[in-house]
Structure 1
Amino acid sequence: MAQELSGKQIAILATNGFEQSELEVPLKKLREAGAKVDVVSLQGGEIKGWEMKDWGHPVPVDKTLDEVSPNDYDALVLPGGQINPDLLRVEPKALQFIMSFWKANKVVGAICHAPWLLIETGIVKGRRVTSYHSIKTDVINAGGRWEDSTVVVDQGLVTSRNPGDLEAFSAKLIEEIREGVHEHRTAA
């Protein structure tokens, strides 16, 4: 298992207020599987997570959005938390970055509240997804086919409903990345 993603490059897009475990668990699992993973953010330095009811600890930013291209990566992971996706969904560069992965038929993973970013980019429309229960109506109103499931996979789109599902999310994400580009992704 240690090398099943050898040679793969993964971006985790996040900013301040990401749910601590939703960035750290996939980061660890992807690296254990042999992938090179960059934490990408709006600015360099560090971003601070949110853990339960208070600020968590900082995570170093490997690259800024200005320093990367979706062409550099095989897949994209979007951690949730309430603050992080809410800040990112008003940033045109972040939305374009996310959309570029989708248009290139690459794997996109979104956890908890991160489907807000899928809503903002239009990716969710017609897709089977799950999310944190409080944004279920948002997903449905945006045309998503919301499911109350631990993890939902729809043609390279991997979604998870909450931090308690991160092991299952990471396993499905690794499986989808191993499969590669989803050339035959159908329109929703």
Structure 2
Amino acid sequence: MRIAFLTAPEGVEQIELTEPWKAAVDAGHEPVLVSTKPGTIQAFHHLDKADTFPVQEVVGETTADSFGGLVLPGGVANPDNLRTDEKAVRFVRDFFEQGRPVAAICHAPWTLVEADVVRGRVLTSWPSLATDIRNAGGTWVDEQVRICDHGAGKLVTSRKPDDLKAFDEAFLDVFAREAA
């Protein structure tokens, strides 16, 4: 399965990109780095610059229907940048409209809030997003991983880098079941 990993040009939390990416590769999937601009993205370790990664496809030049699922890594700046880009928000919304599975960790649900896809869903995130999720019509829970079946497609969410092992297992299981 081709899996889109959507990031902004700057601000993704590196471990929230690289660990799920590795898990997807190990499970036989084809992860694809999608961003809002061509070139490279700049990852971070919290507030410090980390590695750069090459963008493989650009939002607006690719479509949700060319992927089996979507992973949204966190980092504070990453989803904050994505949610101000109309093409990125539309790309995310398209996965839900097509019933494709989506996984989001840490601050990434900010992009889901902007895409107006959390209404009626139960999800988790970094705790500071709880009010935003509630205000967007979702229910926020403090759990390591939450799988929500409400509406079209399944949504897998997780709170933070410490939850990555459980997040990776959950999204890979959901993506595999959705593909079958």
1:23 equivalenced with 2:17 (yes/no): yes
Q: Give the structure 2 partner of residue 44 of structure 1.
A: 38
- Of the candidates 134, 144, 151, which is equivalent to residue 140 of structure 1? 134
Instruction: Name the SS for the 2:156 alignment partner.
Output: strand
One-letter identity of the residue aligned with 1:122: D
Deviation at 1:180, TM superposition (A): 1.3
Q: Give the structure 2 partner of residue 10 of structure 1.
A: 3
> Does the aligned pair in 1 maintain the 2:46–2:75 contact within 8 Å?
no
1:154 equivalenced with 2:148 (yes/no): yes
Instruction: Name the SS for the 2:60 alignment partner.
Output: helix
One-letter identity of the residue aligned with 1:167: K
Q: Give the structure 1 partner of residue 83 of structure 2.
A: 89
Q: Give the structure 2 partner of residue 113 of structure 1.
A: 107
> Does the aligned pair in 1 maintain the 2:2–2:66 contact within 8 Å?
yes
Unaligned runs of 5+ in 2: none
> Does the aligned pair in 2 maintain the 1:80–1:110 contact within 8 Å?
yes
Instruction: Name the SS for the 1:17 alignment partner.
Output: strand
> Does the aligned pair in 2 maintain the 1:127–1:144 contact within 8 Å?
yes
Deviations 1:115-170 (A, max 9, x none): 11111111111101000011111111111111100000002100000011111101
Instruction: Name the SS for the 1:126 alignment partner.
Output: coil
Structure 1 stretches of 4+ moved >3 Å? none
CA distance, structure 1, for counterparts of residue 60 and residue 148 of structure 2: 29
Instruction: Name the SS for the 1:137 alignment partner.
Output: helix
Q: TM-score, normalised by structure 1?
A: 0.90
Deviation at 1:114, TM superposition (A): 0.6
CA distance, structure 1, for counterparts of residue 57 and residue 136 of structure 2: 31
CA distance, structure 2, for counterparts of residue 40 and residue 141 of structure 1: 28
Q: Give the structure 2 partner of residue 73 of structure 1.
A: 67
Overall identity of the aligned pairs, in % = 40
CA distance, structure 2, for counterparts of residue 50 and residue 136 of structure 1: 23
Deviation at 1:181, TM superposition (A): 5.8
> Does the aligned pair in 1 maintain the 2:35–2:58 contact within 8 Å?
yes
Q: How many residues align?
A: 175
Q: TM-score, normalised by structure 2?
A: 0.94
Q: Give the structure 1 partner of residue 175 of structure 2.
A: 177
Q: Give the structure 2 partner of residue 3 of structure 1.
A: none
CA RMSD in angstroms, aligned pairs only: 1.2
Q: Give the structure 1 partner of residue 49 of structure 2.
A: 55
